[in-house]
Chain A
């Protein structure tokens, strides 16, 4: 499955990036292809293109704050979870997608 994700936390120093790393790793074990955009202290990195989003079947928002450019995801199925969820139970997120 092709997935896209956005991670963002209030300080944007640590958890944004850890969550991104975690999602990338666990997605692989489920056999998914994933691209994760981080919205942290350095601004938006690894930005999802229109093309990335169009091709994705599902978008995961692991965020504690408002996603920047949310309108980009209109028409895509979005699963939104608190960022902590991506750190503590990323498997659960993917299991939900599976169903």
Chain B
């Protein structure tokens, strides 16, 4: 401490910042104070806490809130200067130190926020759905890992101190470097605050003190971190409590530096949770307790990363591209993640809960409605067969797939068995997994892909070099020659397991005929070994290849002579085709599988393979993309393999396709100029014409909705459950657009909302009767009991359905007609009566009533 030659100087101020002196303003104040040699002390008069003004942590710990009276005391030789400078800072700079970071609700992209939620004034954060679904729980920020360190004591105090100092230096340097390249103001602000903490004098003092007392550098970091975290968490200011995460983050980084290696502490979940992270690796995701993991919110992730694939296959709702997710969703926040629409809703109000409770029921009803038919589905409306298989990487997933009605496993990945471990999995270990897969599948085929590992994965026992360009490098089958024993082990395990079911082998990344000849020889070798030992296996197991390398598409005639089946891996095939890295979000948009060039390429591949009489499936992301489905049907694939959780939805969508229409559609699509035109073409496709105008599932006679918003939502949901819309929000908007002209209340307790929109997949009438009449915003203020909805496709133009709509509108003017509608007891009565009155098609014609007997052969050989 400097010798005090003068009386210290004081000045007082009232904290002008709404969030108090939290990390960011505190870092500015500390920065200002650190310009001077003398001491600067801040006292919070409200709670009496005295803090070193040069320490961000100290200032934060003083818990200065909006309106608190504080004093700053300066002493030392330069006290006059420091007093003046800090006074100026507090009066002029500090009030502007808290530029608000982006907060929930600032829209990033234009999209439809559901009417009911808008009416409830719900707050939301926008993201991109990566894995569809809705999840709810308490936020767990991945940043907040519990600090742990090995308990071995320090050996050499000086050495520990050096390690500590180096660690602090490295972390500060890294933050400084990141700060240089940070492009968003919000990102810079956060990095600045982190840097201020890392370079905090008090933090370093505290750390050194711990080492002096004989602790190791790691222990010192843990103890110091915990000390400050406890202190901040005691704060009454929620914002400051949340900032303990910043300290945790810094300590975590320091710990990694002194430890030298990454200490992977598995995150423990104890209640329904929503994980919020910047990014998350597949291994980290797999390590989580999925019983409690209800949703994921990621700040950044390119569209087809492995995490996304995994999240989809596990059915974990995932939202990505959520900027400042961790800031907007601090740990402990209750949140609903809507990864169907692309929103996260923190602090949901009762109205929001009610909305999502209905949503849950709607999704459940939709699933149920289709589930009972899922087993028998698997073809188009006109009975053309298309198997819907599933992708799986575990027996658990495979079981889920079969529960959802999968016709087989089109891709069983085996990499997961090889990753995240010190040595290769043994034959027995692998056999157990493959045998379980075979047993669970029964008679259904399971295509097992041999390990597909490359330079982008760290596998200690493989000694793979870090590559400049791992996707074009040493990966897939290219490893097999060098690791032939590994391949033999896997092949033996698969062959043995084939005794229990229809297992088939598929090789990834095949680029030439010679390669497949080589690996067929490898299979024979494994078979011979098993035969010598008298071990059972299924002879004549089918062998196929992935189509990922464009080269093979030009050698299919020869390949068809050598293999039994093909599966198109669109993820890799498209990135090689377009020369665009799918993990690079800056070029990911080039990778549109609906570009006419790629569609032509695919169509040609399928045509050639089918002409040779061989089986061809598709297992990439494109297979599960609902927008592409009609095109895939048009190509004439034998199978599509989709994430387990999406099998049933895929079958349902498939059942609405007409194969002839799909062939025409593909022909038009391949002639289009770009994917935008293709998408326009696809969205104008009606579902098959023999769908009834008024099905019983659209007669809702016992509605308990309480508001107009809820009624319209219920109607749209009924359309969704029946498969008559996939875009509920657009359909709802179209209905509301009409309501905004003037209320559709008719008088006599009737309302007739209507819309013309292509979000509706088939012209429909919906009849809804309310238990209790509700207000319909009509000018006369009359209450409405009966809601007759007319929904028409926009692009359809004039047709016979319009005739029905207009006669229905006229009929509603008749007292007897209205009375009848009000009095019917069952949906059957309603449809029969309207059928007779309006000349509707009343005999139900299920969409998929008679699958034709001439389905495509399932034989793969």
- CB within 8 Å for A42 and B741 given contacts A13-B756, A21-B810: no
CB-contact partner of A18 in B792, B798, B802, B810, under 8 A: B810
Nearest Cβ in chain A — how far from B787, in angstroms? 12
8 A-B pairs closest in CB distance: A17-B809, A21-B810, A17-B806, A21-B813, A14-B809, A18-B809, A13-B754, A14-B752
B806 touches A40 (CB 8 A): yes
- CB within 8 Å for A84 and B742 given contacts A13-B802, A18-B809: yes
Nearest Cβ in chain B — how far from A83, in angstroms? 9
Contacts of B669 in A (CB 8 A): none
- CB within 8 Å for A14 and B741 given contacts A38-B806, A42-B798, A87-B747: no
Complex CA gap A37/B746 in Å reads: 21
Contacts of B810 in A (CB 8 A): 17-18, 20-21
Contacts of A18 in B (CB 8 A): 746, 752, 809-810, 812-813
- CB within 8 Å for A42 and B812 given contacts A14-B754, A64-B741: no
Complex CA gap A71/B719 in Å reads: 43
**Most B C-beta atoms less than 10 A away, residue of A14, A41, A84, A87:** A14
A14 touches B790 (CB 8 A): yes
Binary contact readout A17-47 vs B (1 if CB under 8 angstroms, 0 otherwise)? 1101110010000000000001011110000
Contacts of A13 in B (CB 8 A): 754, 756, 790, 792, 802, 805-806, 809
**Most B C-beta atoms less than 10 A away, residue of A15, A38, A40, A41:** A41
A42 touches B809 (CB 8 A): no
Using a Cβ–Cβ cut-off of 8 Å, how many residues does chain B contribute to the interface with A? 24
Nearest Cβ in chain A — how far from B779, in angstroms? 8
Contacts of A87 in B (CB 8 A): 746-747
Contacts of B792 in A (CB 8 A): 13, 41
A99 contacts the other chain (CB 8 A): no
B744 contacts the other chain (CB 8 A): yes
Complex CA gap A40/B813 in Å reads: 17
B802 touches A41 (CB 8 A): yes
Contacts of A21 in B (CB 8 A): 809-810, 813
Contacts of B738 in A (CB 8 A): 10-11
A88 contacts the other chain (CB 8 A): yes
- CB within 8 Å for A42 and B802 given contacts A15-B809, A88-B747: yes
CB-contact partner of B741 in A10, A38, A41, under 8 A: A10
Complex CA gap A10/B450 in Å reads: 61
CB-contact partner of B756 in A20, A41, A42, A84, under 8 A: A41
Nearest Cβ in chain B — how far from A88, in angstroms? 7
Nearest Cβ in chain A — how far from B117, in angstroms? 25
Nearest Cβ in chain A — how far from B55, in angstroms? 66
Complex CA gap A20/B810 in Å reads: 8
B86 contacts the other chain (CB 8 A): no
Nearest Cβ in chain B — how far from A29, in angstroms? 13
**Would you list which residues of chain B between 809 and 840 have a CB under 8 Å from chain A?**
809-810, 812-813
Complex CA gap A21/B812 in Å reads: 9
Nearest Cβ in chain A — how far from B805, in angstroms? 5
Nearest Cβ in chain A — how far from B715, in angstroms? 15
Nearest Cβ in chain B — how far from A61, in angstroms? 17
Q: Which residue of A lies closest to B797 (CB)?
A: A41
CB-contact partner of A22 in B802, B803, B813, under 8 A: B813
Q: Which residue of B lies closest to A45 (CB)?
A: B806
Complex CA gap A17/B805 in Å reads: 9
B687 contacts the other chain (CB 8 A): no
Using a Cβ–Cβ cut-off of 8 Å, how many residues does chain A contribute to the interface with B? 21
B755 contacts the other chain (CB 8 A): yes
Nearest Cβ in chain B — how far from A35, in angstroms? 15
Binary contact readout A62-74 vs B (1 if CB under 8 angstroms, 0 otherwise)? 0010000000000
Can you spell out 23 A-B residue pairs with CB atoms less than 8 angstroms apart? A10-B738, A10-B741, A11-B755, A11-B756, A13-B790, A13-B802, A13-B806, A14-B744, A14-B752, A15-B752, A16-B809, A17-B805, A18-B752, A21-B809, A22-B813, A38-B806, A40-B806, A43-B798, A84-B742, A87-B746, A87-B747, A88-B747, A88-B780
Binary contact readout B762-780 vs A (1 if CB under 8 angstroms, 0 otherwise)? 0000000000000000011
Complex CA gap A41/B802 in Å reads: 7
A11 touches B813 (CB 8 A): no
Binary contact readout B169-197 vs A (1 if CB under 8 angstroms, 0 otherwise)? 00000000000000000000000000000
Complex CA gap A21/B810 in Å reads: 5
Contacts of A38 in B (CB 8 A): 806
**Known contacts A11-B755, A17-B805, A17-B809; 7 further A-B pairs (Cβ under 8 A):** A11-B738, A13-B792, A14-B809, A18-B746, A20-B810, A42-B806, A64-B741
Complex CA gap A15/B755 in Å reads: 12
**Would you list which residues of chain B between 116 and 154 have a CB under 8 Å from chain A?**
none
Nearest Cβ in chain A — how far from B388, in angstroms? 37
Complex CA gap A18/B755 in Å reads: 16
Q: Which residue of A lies closest to B811 (CB)?
A: A21
Complex CA gap A14/B810 in Å reads: 8
**Most B C-beta atoms less than 10 A away, residue of A10, A13, A16, A43:** A13
Q: Which residue of A lies closest to B742 (CB)?
A: A84
Contacts of A40 in B (CB 8 A): 806
Complex CA gap A59/B530 in Å reads: 95
Q: Which residue of B lies closest to A43 (CB)?
A: B798
Nearest Cβ in chain A — how far from B577, in angstroms? 44
Nearest Cβ in chain A — how far from B730, in angstroms? 16
Contacts of A11 in B (CB 8 A): 738, 754-756
Complex CA gap A42/B792 in Å reads: 12
Binary contact readout B578-610 vs A (1 if CB under 8 angstroms, 0 otherwise)? 000000000000000000000000000000000
Complex CA gap A41/B796 in Å reads: 11
Nearest Cβ in chain A — how far from B7, in angstroms? 81
Nearest Cβ in chain B — how far from A81, in angstroms? 13
B813 touches A25 (CB 8 A): yes
Binary contact readout B781-804 vs A (1 if CB under 8 angstroms, 0 otherwise)? 000000000101000001000110
A14 touches B805 (CB 8 A): yes
Complex CA gap A15/B813 in Å reads: 11
Complex CA gap A77/B813 in Å reads: 28
Contacts of B755 in A (CB 8 A): 11
**Most B C-beta atoms less than 10 A away, residue of A11, A38, A42, A43:** A11
Nearest Cβ in chain A — how far from B762, in angstroms? 15
Contacts of A88 in B (CB 8 A): 747, 779-780
Complex CA gap A37/B126 in Å reads: 49
Complex CA gap A17/B780 in Å reads: 21
Q: Which residue of A lies closest to B752 (CB)?
A: A14
Complex CA gap A49/B806 in Å reads: 22
Contacts of A14 in B (CB 8 A): 744, 752, 754, 790, 805, 809
Nearest Cβ in chain A — how far from B821, in angstroms? 15
Q: Which residue of B lies closest to A83 (CB)?
A: B742
Contacts of A64 in B (CB 8 A): 741
Complex CA gap A14/B743 in Å reads: 12
**Most A C-beta atoms less than 10 A away, residue of B779, B792, B806:** B806
